[in-house]
Amino acid sequence: MPKGASVGELKHRFDTWDGGKGYLFRLAIPPSRKGLDNPAHLLDFGSIYWIPNSRFARLIAETRLVFIMGREYDVPKGATFLDVPKDFNDRWGIGVDNGSNQ
């Protein structure tokens, strides 16, 4: 839990993070290969990113523009933490999954 986190930040994490290990990604192919509107555009070449286990991380993995370098519970030394954007659902047109199948 981050020191000094606001209630809003904690609620965002509760709503968007899934339990378990986060993903370690490194950009492999230019994100423009998949069009201009995909979350891999948030990554820069030469950096390793730790992204929490989430729909956001799985969407990045599904682009096939990244190397998945492993899974870790915490951000390893040398990796950049990239949280699920607060506008994730609006930005990538993905509705909230409440399990209702509707």
Q: Is the pLDDT of residue 22 over 90?
A: yes
Distances (CA, A) of 72 to 6, 62, 75, 79: 25, 19, 7, 11
49: which residues sit within 8 A by CB, 6+ positions away? 24, 25, 26, 43, 79, 80, 81, 82
Q: Is the pTM of this model over 0.75?
A: yes
Confidence at residue 61, expressed as pLDDT on a 0 to 100 scale? 94
Under DSSP, the state recorded for 4 is T
pLDDT the model gives residue 17: 80
Domain coordinates in residue numbering, the chain = 13-82
If you average pLDDT over every residue of the chain, what do you get?
Answer: 82
- Higher-confidence position of 96 and 25: 25
pLDDT band at 96 (very low <50, low <70, confident <90, very high): low
